[in-house]
Structure 1
């Protein structure tokens, strides 16, 4: 009883502090630190296309995203303007934000909205209050005080850097450095004079002299009067990745070295390791260490050494989220592998755990696994938790077998030598690279089901006792893209054939799970026929789920199909397409999401379907499919991308996690998993108490599906009534006249299927 109370109290605390119904949260990765800028006491860090800051005076770490501050996602460049005390932020789509010290943002979208063949911004240099944008076609000047683009110089040159020096505008391109007198017509391409023939990646100034970073060669000083380039530092094998001026010195950083230039004759090079960019703030170095974040460093024995703990916010290690699911103890598991069989990209091994109650991300170890196993650690496509042992995980790799973890530590690698797992190319000397485990899933007894695709016995089961068994079905023998095994409410096994030979497989297991001799099985490949006799060529099936009514919903490249009666479907093979009435007087209807490329699907606590698409965002469809409740895209929501790759739902809270090709977001829905019976010990409301400044919904959770709810005041007068959505009822804090209720205690009454009434919980409102 004490444990149950503590768990419930923890959930209440988490929900009270979390987003309200209808609110969004973004989960960008801030791990891969690639660049930083000093701004007073703050250091702004660009990492994984996102932005965070570290305050050197009080150690505060602050993150910035599309919800709390910024206008967009996928940052490519940042630069600080001392004159206006603001950070200029450039996005991959050419959108621009100006972020001030008080975290106010001014957005400049003019350049983004222009119709141009290419709007790529390669770099930004700020002099005074002018930002010079080096673009794929030339130079664009932006007045940071007036928020106006003042000049555009279409030189036709793919420009990487721009610098104004002694009334001459210099630009570095892939084919050399050019310059033009600002008193001449800069729009005339003939006025731009070529100064060298080498890829010039950076131009900066120190003590009245120009310094050029010739990417293939090194750092040169340039005398603008004599047009003489002088070799100062040759690359000697390792190229510098960044060169800039602090006003007192030139800093040139590379992965393994950093050079400080205080004059043509004063050059010192220090050793460092694993650097993407090094900032010198006048007192210390700040080293962008990639996935380790940013770290403060000093000089010791001619080496740049770390003197503090690396700084990185609590976040996913990468924006890879091809697979997501919640465990029974409210942890979100994420695998970042790629399952596009037509364009296989081998992503770094990425497994992440998000503790929903503690709001904490844990990235499962990956650094030493390759050294232990002797093979690459790549493309982890699926992960699941042992239901009998929390923290015990298995993950499948598309190519490299099965991995086991326990309590955050790598335990074992299952491969060709120590398990019945098979290779698609068994006779190849690289057979170990083709052990394709596309899915892993535990059943309720603790047996691990794996799809070892492309081989004879595709279904492999690691039993709870540690022994293996295999299931052979002729229909899926050697099919290359089998994924997502699940056993439905009838005890039938379903498999998805994702690509190539595309379709749905089903086996009636007749209660003998590990014996296929009495199974009846069937597969539907490449062509689906609906109830009206219309046939569709199906090239991809990404999502097959069972809803609360036992219906099987199938998402394909050509739309959404339903197996509404699997028993009759098994013999007839007719798919149902739901018809949505047009309600325009014609009596006509359209097939639900016909022609929509569906990539992901999940069923929520109200039996509604969350449907993720390839390039059209995510839909929330009513339980019967007749109504589209929400259609979220990047235009009307904070979604990072319209390309949805995965969906996971926390049944207890109603949070819907949406994975995209550019990272994760969550939406607090209005439906939770229903309870089987009403029990006041499981029913609670949040937020509770309701403060004066709160204007969102008050959620009552722990209800049965379709439960009747009444809210009354202390005198017993009816304030609000309705029916639960799944296991949740949402009250807007208003009475039946639409007025906000005054301070007081309000009682939530619930009615079960027998009509018996009871006080479920109380809500305190303070105005």
Structure 2
């Protein structure tokens, strides 16, 4: 539809059409979507029929009656990861969360308040929060450096007690209140002091319970008329019951390790390896059971409680375990199987994450698949994979989104139809080779790419023929490139738009090969090996850390010594020893090389040809198409990223989400930049209509990259214009004078630079 024809549309008809359109805006620009694993439950509490569970990097609440979950992570306000203590307070209705960093959160239904004093105290060494106990308006917090007293209503630290001297520190593991005294479990025994009336800042006013055996104590709890405490020695733990100056050992003939001694819900929980006891306030046993882990996995529960005669355990692999009527049920919020990430791949809007990291042959994490809901495919969840753990790379057959290839670090090559394993290849039925010197199977897979002929290329490390080809029907070929790469370490296999394959040769540089020529036996002219040099002949690096090709055919790569460089003439690399260029940028008026102090770990290209750069210490960077502008840097100080170590980055160009995989888990960052449309006609505009209380951006999709977009009122007056990034553009409903436009219909017209592609659309805006 041409623009001049659009002007003649009757407004009433336009409005009717607009009001009958709807397109929900799922995320806002810059919004984070967390995807931390919720299966590694290490701590639990219960109050009012709600389970409060903590994993390494999140807390979640589970309403037992309704079955509903609520999660909290760094994306929803938690201050950190590495959670080490939790305790629910029924008086003030909040969950206190302590961390290894010394941070302490007050987690409410709709808010999180953080105490940062300990974390920011540079005079303290280890700041781990070990346990929490409430007494009235005070939270007693056991930490590695000493004992904190927190005023709950004021949310501030009111006292800090150091039980040792400057020459000999005392690590505080747990604390309880009983018999008008404060009892503390430490690495040097049980300490006790009056709760009131004594200067507890003076370490000499703390005394040890000398009658107890001289061990390191991890837990202490007042139960009934006694003090229960758990001690640890080299080969076993002990539980002692102290009362009236005397003590006795609980279960003295059992050898165990104590993992919990605490008040959980209405009862006290004692976990001693696979033996678990629950006691009431009168020291009577409510339950005494022997539990060998979920499905007899022999994983010792980390925590547990009883609610309505049903037992719940914390399991670090399977989530929460519910025991009832001699049945076991494992549950947790839907999430990836683990936080371990090797590769992230997006295919037609579906995200695939592999957990097979190098050096972890027996890792059972497999792959995690997300299409609005996580599916975990590994040796624990799929019997066909029971002997094939540690999946590290995946790729899809060209033109067939249901056929997936995968490699297993240590085991070989897999073929899937959707999520069903159809074929598996190792050294016995393919050209894949085990690394020398190992008595059993050990195939070190380092890269995987599908080709254009329904086959796949696999690189290996440390074997005579490290380049292997699978033809899609069971036949294999392998290559050593005239013995030039025998026993080399190859990795970072990338398929180029012009058909060649590139890979990194550790310690040497780059290997480029023509797949079709290799298969045809034209070996001598089918490859090129070259070191990484600049135009002046100087070497840039011997270790390329990451590599990606952009929409212009330029190959960007990271270097071991830090920084980025680019091959602008990459397509000629098979026949020429090409040279690379570093990007010079200006920082604070000083010229320097792009990211020269950052070791790059991953590179991804978005729909606008911008570069997303993951680093090992600096977080994630977004740089402009040509690399001369740093758009922003996302890191732990300004985002929910749990660490600054980025293992992989992938752009989902269908949904406009950048997935950032750290060494502590996965997050998504919504950019709204989507793939450029192959052809255009009608624009997708939403929200539509725009109501007066909407103050965010209007999103326009269905564009091609760098299309010019003009927005006019129905009288033809241009009110705004912009350029598309990828297949998307945005409008803030303001005109050239930054004033919000008046109520009415606005018409959109987009065109390519040469005018060969056009598209149009319309939106109704209601202004206050």
Whether these two folds match at TM > 0.5 is yes
1:636 to 632, 635, 638: 638
Shift of 1:627: 1.0
2:502 to 479, 494, 507: 494
Q: Does the C-alpha gap of structure 1 residues 37 and 582 become closer, same or farther in structure 2, counting only changes over 3 Å?
A: closer
1:335 to 334, 354, 358: 354
**Partner SS state of residue 423, structure 1:** coil
TM-score by length of 1: 0.88
**2:244 paired with 1:230:** no
**Aligned 1:442-521 pairs, distance under 5 A:** 442-474=450-482, 477-497=485-505, 499=506, 501-508=507-514, 513-521=519-527
1:127-170 deviations in whole A, cap 9, x for unaligned? 22222222222212212122121221222112211122223222
User: How far apart, CA to CA, are the structure 2 residues paired with 1:518 and 1:757?
Assistant: 45
**Partner SS state of residue 31, structure 1:** coil
2:376 to 363, 371, 374: 363
2:241 to 193, 204, 221: 221
**2:414 paired with 1:403:** yes
User: How far apart, CA to CA, are the structure 1 residues paired with 2:119 and 2:627?
Assistant: 38
Determine the structure 2 residue equivalent to 1:420: 431
Q: Is the 8 A contact 2:320 2:332 kept in 1?
A: yes
User: How far apart, CA to CA, are the structure 2 residues paired with 1:677 and 1:78?
Assistant: 54
Determine the structure 2 residue equivalent to 1:7: none
Determine the structure 2 residue equivalent to 1:561: 565
Determine the structure 2 residue equivalent to 1:318: 338
Shift of 1:418: 2.1
1:160 to 148, 169, 173: 173
Q: Does the C-alpha gap of structure 1 residues 748 and 593 become closer, same or farther in structure 2, counting only changes over 3 Å?
A: same
Determine the structure 1 residue equivalent to 2:298: none
Q: Is the 8 A contact 2:680 2:758 kept in 1?
A: no
Determine the structure 1 residue equivalent to 2:206: 192
Q: Does the C-alpha gap of structure 1 residues 475 and 191 become closer, same or farther in structure 2, counting only changes over 3 Å?
A: farther
Q: Does the C-alpha gap of structure 1 residues 684 and 402 become closer, same or farther in structure 2, counting only changes over 3 Å?
A: same
Shift of 1:282: 5.3
**Aligned 1:530-679 pairs, distance under 5 A:** 530-532=534-536, 534-538=538-542, 540-557=543-560, 558-566=562-570, 571-581=576-586, 584=589, 589-679=591-681
How many residues in Structure 1 have an aligned counterpart in Structure 2? Answer: 725
Determine the structure 2 residue equivalent to 1:524: 530
2:277 to 250, 259, 264: 259
Shift of 1:428: 4.2
Q: Is the 8 A contact 1:30 1:313 kept in 2?
A: yes
Determine the structure 2 residue equivalent to 1:245: 263
Shift of 1:364: 0.8
**Partner SS state of residue 496, structure 1:** strand
1:183-239 deviations in whole A, cap 9, x for unaligned? 44433334433323123221112223211223434432101x32x211222362343
Shift of 1:657: 0.8
**Partner SS state of residue 16, structure 1:** coil
User: How far apart, CA to CA, are the structure 2 residues paired with 1:678 and 1:87?
Assistant: 52
Q: Is the 8 A contact 1:644 1:660 kept in 2?
A: yes
1:580-622 deviations in whole A, cap 9, x for unaligned? 24684xxx73222223210000111111111111110111111
Determine the structure 1 residue equivalent to 2:291: 272
**Partner SS state of residue 637, structure 2:** coil
1:393 to 404, 411, 431: 404
Q: Is the 8 A contact 2:530 2:577 kept in 1?
A: no
Q: Does the C-alpha gap of structure 1 residues 604 and 372 become closer, same or farther in structure 2, counting only changes over 3 Å?
A: closer
Q: Is the 8 A contact 1:556 1:599 kept in 2?
A: no
Q: Is the 8 A contact 1:206 1:248 kept in 2?
A: no
**2:147 paired with 1:139:** yes
User: How far apart, CA to CA, are the structure 1 residues paired with 2:227 and 2:277?
Assistant: 17
1:624-674 deviations in whole A, cap 9, x for unaligned? 111111221121222222111101111223211111111112222253222
Determine the structure 2 residue equivalent to 1:9: none
Determine the structure 1 residue equivalent to 2:733: 733
Shift of 1:249: 4.5
The runs of 5 or more residues in structure 2 that have no matched partner are 1-19, 164-168, 294-300
Shift of 1:33: 1.8
Shift of 1:447: 0.8
User: How far apart, CA to CA, are the structure 1 residues paired with 2:406 and 2:76?
Assistant: 34
User: How far apart, CA to CA, are the structure 1 residues paired with 2:361 and 2:68?
Assistant: 37
The runs of 5 or more residues in structure 1 that have no matched partner are 1-11
Shift of 1:502: 4.8
User: How far apart, CA to CA, are the structure 2 residues paired with 1:128 and 1:728?
Assistant: 56
1:288 to 314, 327, 330: 314
**Partner SS state of residue 688, structure 2:** coil
RMSD: 2.8
Determine the structure 2 residue equivalent to 1:114: 121
Shift of 1:572: 4.4
Determine the structure 2 residue equivalent to 1:5: none
Q: Does the C-alpha gap of structure 1 residues 360 and 265 become closer, same or farther in structure 2, counting only changes over 3 Å?
A: closer
Shift of 1:735: 1.8
Shift of 1:537: 4.4
Q: Does the C-alpha gap of structure 1 residues 732 and 49 become closer, same or farther in structure 2, counting only changes over 3 Å?
A: same
1:341-362 deviations in whole A, cap 9, x for unaligned? 7xx686433311111xxx2111
2:370 to 331, 351, 354: 354
Give the stretch that moved more between structures: 128-137 or 15-24. Answer: 15-24
Shift of 1:174: 3.1
User: How far apart, CA to CA, are the structure 1 residues paired with 2:133 and 2:522?
Assistant: 68
Shift of 1:704: 1.9
**Partner SS state of residue 414, structure 2:** strand
